[in-house]
Amino acid sequence: MDEKLKRRIVVFYAGGIINALLGLYVLIEGLAFLPAETARWLAIAFLVFAAVDFYFPYALKQKWLADNAGKQTQGNGPIQRS
């Protein structure tokens, strides 16, 4: 797998972890400094972004595998594997 793609996947996972932690923080501690409705919507937004950040690496990897599946059947050369 290309190093740029690997780096992009790692960045998406890091962003997902950060968004998930921020969402949980707002869920747990947000009521102390925000109205309940605002804290709820903010936590939902962080958790949705975390879900998207965890879905994108999966989609990128599936796209890479689909793009390289044709190369394997053609026999043009070796395929990079991670």
- pLDDT tens, position by position, 31-58: 898 898 999 999 999 999 999 999 999 9
**Distances in whole angstroms, Cα of residue 69 to Cα of each of 1, 8, 57, 73:** 13, 21, 18, 7
Q: What percent of the chain has pLDDT over 70?
A: 87
Min mean pLDDT across 12-16, 23-27, 61-65 is at 61-65
* Per-residue pLDDT, 78: 61
Q: Provide mean pLDDT across the span 74-78.
A: 57
